[in-house]
Amino acid sequence: MRTPASEPLGPTDALVVPRFAGVRTFARLPTLEQAGRADVAVLGAPFDGATTFRPGSRFGPAGIREASLLLRPYNEPMDLSPFAESQVVDAGDAPASPVDIEGAHRAIEESAGALHASGARVLGLGGDHSVALPLVRAAAAAYGRLSLLQLDAHTDTWDSYFGAKVTHGTIFRRAAEEGAIDPHHSVQIGLRGSLYAPADLAENAELGFSTLLAREFDAAGVAGAIELALGQLRSPVYVTVDIDVLDPAFAPGTGTPEAGGLSSRELLAILRGLAGAGLDLVGADVVEVSPPYDPAGVTALAAANAAYELVGLLVLSGRS
């Protein structure tokens, strides 16, 4: 019988059972049921009913899990063995209705809320970006108002779309209105693409977000992005990675691709740059991976690696 004092139950040993064998969990981690407890829990949010262009991200959690098979147990840049230090588990998928945005979000919030209540930090796998709203709500309910780091081509702070207040393009305005996030200590990196009008960015700035546009990233670079993030963020912190922050060359399999984005290497470097800065990361997500548009699996691979860095940050934050 496993007890809370047990050593963490790690991933299936790839030197005993090869990586391509076995039932798919994130990074071949044990399930929550197998481990019996969690310091960090990976939670799938397979819902794409609030997307506005290309669908398919309901298959994102499965795609990311498949791409995560090659993740190894030692994070070299962080000098960290996350699965040995902490109990990291795959908590499965929230039972999100495919035809009911409100109901799906409720299911995701309940699943994430139960994990937070057990003391676990939660890493969500989307799903369209709307799933970040219930994930943020659950984290804020447990830890208080959050400072958001959003890596995204889009602001996702529109007021509505076709009259709907909750879509994957409106969630962070909703989160700000509810007080779940504090836009004045929140940062968006990678914004780009054609807009409807100048007001799109002006209204986003009025809400209080600090931004680093993709074209500004040309000069600021990874170091400038990290400097902005560390200067603005305050604990508790939530990091949301919309995979469309990457250039379509690195992430074609996504709902609303925009040319001129970051490379996978730049994204991973920004995430690693948050390590050791004393920020308390309490939740995170990687969203908008759409496997039907990802024939070579490169988008899911980038997402799996971003998720691995986020697991490392969540484990580091759990040190007390």
Residues that bind Mn ion (CB under 5 A): 129, 152-154, 156, 242, 244
State the minimum distance, in angstroms, from the CB of residue 109 to Mn ion.
Answer: 18
Cα 275 to Cα 132: distance, rounded to the nearest angstrom: 22
CB 268 within 8 A of CB 260: no
State the minimum distance, in angstroms, from the CB of residue 256 to Mn ion.
Answer: 6
Cβ-based nearer residue to Mn ion, 38 or 286: 286
Lookup: tokens for 270: 């920004």
Cα 82 to Cα 52: distance, rounded to the nearest angstrom: 36
Cβ-based nearer residue to Mn ion, 39 or 242: 242
CB 84 within 8 A of CB 309: no
Cβ-based nearer residue to Mn ion, 257 or 318: 257
Cα 180 to Cα 175: distance, rounded to the nearest angstrom: 5
State the minimum distance, in angstroms, from the CB of residue 171 to Mn ion.
Answer: 8
Cβ-based nearer residue to Mn ion, 116 or 129: 129
State the minimum distance, in angstroms, from the CB of residue 169 to Mn ion.
Answer: 7
Cβ-based nearer residue to Mn ion, 90 or 242: 242
State the minimum distance, in angstroms, from the CB of residue 27 to Mn ion.
Answer: 24
Cα 127 to Cα 27: distance, rounded to the nearest angstrom: 18
Query: b vs e for 2-37, b when ≥16 Cβ sit within 10 Å of the residue's Cβ?
Result: eeeeeebbbbbebeeeeeeeeeebbbbbbebeebbb
Lookup: tokens for 146: 């959050």
Cβ-based nearer residue to Mn ion, 254 or 317: 254
Biggest alpha carbon–alpha carbon distance for the chain: 60
State the minimum distance, in angstroms, from the CB of residue 16 to Mn ion.
Answer: 39
Backbone angles phi and psi of 90, in degrees to 5? -100, 115
Cβ-based nearer residue to Mn ion, 40 or 139: 139
Instruction: Find residue 188's DSSP bridge partners.
Output: 150, 211
Instruction: Find residue 80's DSSP bridge partners.
Output: 75
* Chain mean position to CA 154: 15
Cβ-based nearer residue to Mn ion, 158 or 308: 158
* Chain mean position to CA 294: 18
State the minimum distance, in angstroms, from the CB of residue 242 to Mn ion.
Answer: 4
Q: Is the peptide bond before 4 cis (omega within 30 degrees of 0)?
A: no
CB 317 within 8 A of CB 274: no
Cα 127 to Cα 56: distance, rounded to the nearest angstrom: 8
State the minimum distance, in angstroms, from the CB of residue 154 to Mn ion.
Answer: 4
State the minimum distance, in angstroms, from the CB of residue 47 to Mn ion.
Answer: 14
Cβ-based nearer residue to Mn ion, 120 or 262: 262
